[in-house]
Amino acid sequence: MQNIQLGWQPAAMLSTGLFTGALTGTAVGGRLPLGRSARLAGRAAAYLREAGLVAALYTLWQLACSVSVLGSAGAFERARQIARFEHAVRLPGEDRAQRLVVGHPLLTQAANWYYAAVHFAALGVLLVWLFSRHRQRYPEVRNVLVLLTGASLLIQLLPVAPPRLLPGYVDTAARYGQSVYNLSGVSVDELGAMPSVHVGWALLVAWAVLRVSPSRYRWWVLAHPVLTMAVVVVTANHWWLDGIVAGMLLVLSIAVVRLTATGFTAARLPRFAAGVDDGDAGRRRAGHGRQRLPHPVQADHAGDQLVGSYRAGAD
């Protein structure tokens, strides 16, 4: 299977082109008279700008995956440590999970295809749906995505070999010619098994849909992270622990985004709007120095006197 992921150089060119299109759309929309054409140009510029930002983040991700500050040192020993830890806490072995599918070629090939393609497709559909239908909820999900992916990349700088590179496990993608990795040798990004970005993104998709969609069928989205977790294990691309850590990172990313948003909002609002009651003293300070308006009746009398004086002068 050909690797459908863009390298960082094509991704950088794509991001540059999208940003250029966004700037062009903004300039064109600013010169058009107010109307349908101007609105369409502005809408297209917004889509291109956000797509350019996502492409730029993807570029950084691909660049980070191609660089390893620690090389492959210790990657296989860490993988064995994970296997021993999973055995100690009674998690089912990845080799046992593999035996459920390796005897079924069509099922195995479907799992390989799901691993290679669905995580990007599902995330892309989610972002487009949010940006077009739920624009006000989009920034929160995007910020969680950035934090989750960035944290995953930082951890992946510590290389960990996936199960398929160890004896006793089957590289199902290589068996059926569906591998997206370089089969001539172990590449850098192959040793970034911990945590599983596939599982993290699948959990993010499920969380966002459950949080935003009002549909009663939205719970079906939980099938995506369940299938993703099963697929990354039976294809021996990840350990169970890789998916568990990805879920923990997602929870942490959501908490950070929410706390940051809450703190920013509270800092911009007045104290009473943030839920702080200063009592009578605060209310007296707010009213101190304020000129007391005359009573409405007094204001009417003053107006009558002014009109009377004007008439007397005219006479």
More confident residue, 16 or 101: 101
Tokens at residue 195, please?
A: 């945590």
| Residue 196 to residue 225: CA distance in whole angstroms | 12
Tokens at residue 90, please?
A: 């009674």
How many CB atoms lie under 10 A from the CB of residue 158? 16
Q: Where exactly are the structural domains of the chain?
A: 1-67, 71-268
Buried b or exposed e, range 79-106, using 16+ CB within 10 angstroms: beebbeebeeeeeebbbebbeebbeeee
* Residue 305: predicted pLDDT: 47
| Residue 266 to residue 260: CA distance in whole angstroms | 10
The whole-number average pLDDT for the span 85-103 is 93
pLDDT above 60 for 185: no
Q: For residue 51, with 0-12 CB atoms within 10 Å meaning exposed, 13-18 middle and 19 or more buried, which class applies? A: buried
pLDDT digits (tens, 9 = 90+) for 193-206: 899 999 999 999 99
| Residue 126 to residue 42: CA distance in whole angstroms | 22
Torsion angle of C-alpha atoms 108, 110, 112, 114, degrees rounded to 10:
-140
pLDDT above 90 for 227: yes
Q: What are the phi and psi torsion angles at 19 (to 5°)?
A: -65, -40
Q: Which of 97-111, 249-263, 289-303 has the lowest mean pLDDT?
A: 289-303
Mean of pLDDT over the chain: 79
* Residue 293: predicted pLDDT: 44
Helix axes 105-133, 197-212, angle to 10 degrees: 50
* Residue 138: predicted pLDDT: 92
Q: Is 237 helix (H, G, I), strand (E, B) or coil?
A: coil
Number of H helices, E strands in the chain: 12, 0
Q: Is 192 helix (H, G, I), strand (E, B) or coil?
A: strand
* Residue 313: predicted pLDDT: 47
Q: For residue 237, with 0-12 CB atoms within 10 Å meaning exposed, 13-18 middle and 19 or more buried, which class applies? A: buried
**Residues 6+ away with beta carbon under 8 Å from 109:** 176, 178
pLDDT digits (tens, 9 = 90+) for 237-251: 999 999 999 999 999
The whole-number average pLDDT for the span 209-213 is 95
The whole-number average pLDDT for the span 99-126 is 92
The whole-number average pLDDT for the span 252-261 is 94
The whole-number average pLDDT for the span 68-88 is 84
| Residue 106 to residue 95: CA distance in whole angstroms | 19
| Residue 12 to residue 248: CA distance in whole angstroms | 30
* Residue 222: predicted pLDDT: 97
The whole-number average pLDDT for the span 167-179 is 90
Q: What is the pTM of this model?
A: 0.75
Residue type, 283: R
